[in-house]
Amino acid sequence: MELVRFNPFGVAPTFNSKMSRLFDEFFETPACRQATTTWSPKVDIYEAKGLLVIQADLPGVEKKDLSIKVDHGILTLKGERKGHETSEEKNVYRSERFYGSFERAFRLPPKTDVDKIEAEFKNGVLHVTLPKEDVPEGKEIAIH
């Protein structure tokens, strides 16, 4: 006899998981994921007041251990969370937090003004603001 986990919502994924997968596929393609890491910070990506904003939770990471790079339309967040010191005097009963280097890469949408990208790191949260280029709307050309 085989045990089957009960799923009250059926076998189809929920709307929320479908939307999450859609955003993951759009902003983080397999080509963008180049490094394997021991941990990966969680991010929120949203648009507000005409700006695209990426927020990354980075508790325990110091500002000096972070870097942000834009290259060929890919924004890369790199950093490191230092591990706790080990000593023979300390008995560790449980260690669930991840330490070490991480790297997250995101494909930037077209019309992102890379020269005006700003980043702020405060209280363990990184805010990266991505403004859009001021591209004039199309205009109609008179035929003579």
Domain boundaries, the chain: 22-84+98-131
- Please give the Cα distance from 67 to 118 (Å, whole number): 12
- Of the chain, the percentage scoring pLDDT greater than 70 comes to 67
**Parts of the chain with a pLDDT under 50:** 1, 11, 29-37
Structure tokens at 85: 């010191």
CA atoms within 13 A on the CB side of 96: 1
User: What's the pTM?
Assistant: 0.64
For residue 36, the model assigns a pLDDT of 44
H or E, element range at 47: strand 43-48
22-84+98-131 architecture in CATH? Sandwich (2.60)
